[in-house]
Amino acid sequence: MTDLELGNFGRDFFWGTATASYQIEGAVSEGGRGTSIWDTFSHSDGKVTNGDTGDIACDHYHRLEEDLDLLGQLGVSTYRFSLAWPRIQPDGSGKPNQGGIDFYARLIDGLLERNIEPVPTIYHWDLPQSLQDKGGWKMRETSYRFADYAGVVTDAFKDRVKHWITLNEPWCSAWLGYAVGVHAPGETNIDSAVAATHHLLLGHGLALQQMRSMTEAKIGITLNLSVVRPASQDRADIEVARLVDGNLNRIFLDPIFKKQYPGDLVSHYGGAIADATTEDLETIGQGIDFLGVNFYFPSIVIARQNIDKARSQGLYVDTSREPNLIDADFGSAGVHRMGVKRTAMDWEIEAGALTELLVRVHDEYSTLPIMITENGCATHDYVNPSGKVIDDDRIEYIESHIAALASAIEKGVDVAGYFVWSLLDNFEWAYGYSRRFGIVWVDYETQRRIPKKSFYRYKEIIKAARDA
């Protein structure tokens, strides 16, 4: 694909890459850092592939300068990273730990020296364990602690940060963490996930309030959204797809943009979202400056009673595993279309779904600027005998999704930025180091970094767009 075919983006467009603290930093007991729920979870038997942990990860904590230089070499205009709450407040409350503040000050200063705009995410899943010991996101108290923490980091960095993201993917924190159980803290209870959903959103709202009183910076939240399609026009498929869409998309978008939880979900779940007060909903929906969207794959959903029929419809359903709690509760199952390419995560690739999603958000919810705060893929990378990583599949994925953004822009969506997930291969949560998302290869034995072919291609794309 030529650069022109990728689309026209304004000069101010944010071109970046993204990472998250626990996935790259390592140094888990240094600089006064406390324990997070991901330390506990990854050290529990059988939770993470190969028993991997984030203890060392990419050793980014000690290799900050080298990684900053990689960003400089790449030519990004921005970099999204996350602040580890237990580095800033080891026990989740109280006065800040200087070691943590100093580390992120070095990172932010290093970015600014290279003309790269820092976009910190305040929370990317590493909750201080002491807060989990008191119930974590199931408890309303955690929302207040989060707002205090957001105030602490705003105070420390408000002279240098112009764009903040409060939460990363609250759906994953609440539903993978408290219902499906494959993420920390590993609970499996729907009511807990519903409570966590509300408390994460409330924490976001309270943090916004706190931060607004301290800074003029732009503040957003990052959601993992997708298009959710029924596998067929069968009524049962349509009904479950609507519920899955509610659980993934509407349960966050409705309160943020319409100050209410979706009626069908309120009736289905009850609990914390049914009991939410008008005051809480006002706090949650008070208004953001931009929406962060992480997009990876479209979801195709079938009613469980239709699974036997699925194969004849050219669909593939993995019935080898027990349905997760969300699916068991809805009577739904995720399916794959045969013939649609999938990534090393087994996620379907369909760039057009990103355009469709953005147009929907624009039409149904908001005309605010949208930043694609994560997009990318895991591929089966290897270092070839000449020492290179030729990841053509990743290049194709990135190019097609950038082109999908261009068509969303043509359709009237205000897309303000794109961040490739990820700068580095890293700790992919429950998959440990077995999945590689980086545009830079990391040799975990030596911590050597090797920019992959996609790194050089992304560099060209950014340069062409910035010179245009």
Residue 374 contacts ligand FCB per CB under 6 A: yes
Residue 178 is given by DSSP the state: I
CB of 282 to ligand FCB, least distance (A): 28
Q: At what angle do helices 140-157 and 190-212 cross, to 10 degrees?
A: 30
Within its chain, how far is the Cα of 30 from the centroid? Answer: 26
Whether the Cβ atoms of residue 258 and residue 276 lie closer than 8 Å to each other: no
Q: What sign results for the dihedral spanned by CA atoms 152, 158, 161, 164?
A: positive
Residue 428 contacts ligand FCB per CB under 6 A: yes
In this chain, which of 421, 433, 455, 458 binds ligand FCB, going by CB under 6 A? 421
**DSSP for 385-414?**
TTS----HHHHHHHHHHHHHHHHHHHTT--
Distances (CA, A) of 365 to 264, 278, 359: 18, 19, 10
Q: List active site positions.
A: 169, 374
In this chain, which of 169, 237, 391, 425 binds ligand FCB, going by CB under 6 A? 169
Please state, in angstroms and rounded to a whole number, the distance separating the CA atoms of residues 252 and 170.
Answer: 8
Residue 224 contacts ligand FCB per CB under 6 A: yes
CB of 226 to ligand FCB, least distance (A): 11
Residue 361 contacts ligand FCB per CB under 6 A: no
Residue 437 contacts ligand FCB per CB under 6 A: yes
- Residue closer to ligand FCB, measured from CB, 319 or 434: 434
In this chain, which of 20, 272, 276, 361 binds ligand FCB, going by CB under 6 A? 20
Stretch binding ligand FCB (CB under 6 A), from 31-39, 166-174, 181-189, 326-334: 166-174
Residue 375 contacts ligand FCB per CB under 6 A: no
Structure-block tokens of residue 158: 């408000």
Interface of this chain with ligand FCB, residues 340 to 359, rule: CB under 6 A: none
In this chain, which of 58, 116, 147, 172 binds ligand FCB, going by CB under 6 A? 172
Q: What is residue 235's three-state secondary structure? A: helix
CB of 437 to ligand FCB, least distance (A): 5
Q: Taking Cα atoms as reference points, which of 377, 367, 126 lies closest to residue 257?
A: 367
Residue 121 contacts ligand FCB per CB under 6 A: no
Distances (CA, A) of 284 to 171, 199, 287: 15, 10, 8
Burial class (CB in 10 A: 0-12, 13-18, 19+), 386: exposed
CB of 18 to ligand FCB, least distance (A): 8
CB of 4 to ligand FCB, least distance (A): 29
Binding residue count for ligand FCB, defined by CB under 6 A: 12
Stretch binding ligand FCB (CB under 6 A), from 41-49, 165-173, 241-249, 440-448: 165-173
- Residue numbers of the site for ligand FCB (CB under 6 A)? 20, 23, 168-169, 172, 224, 294, 374, 421, 428-429, 437
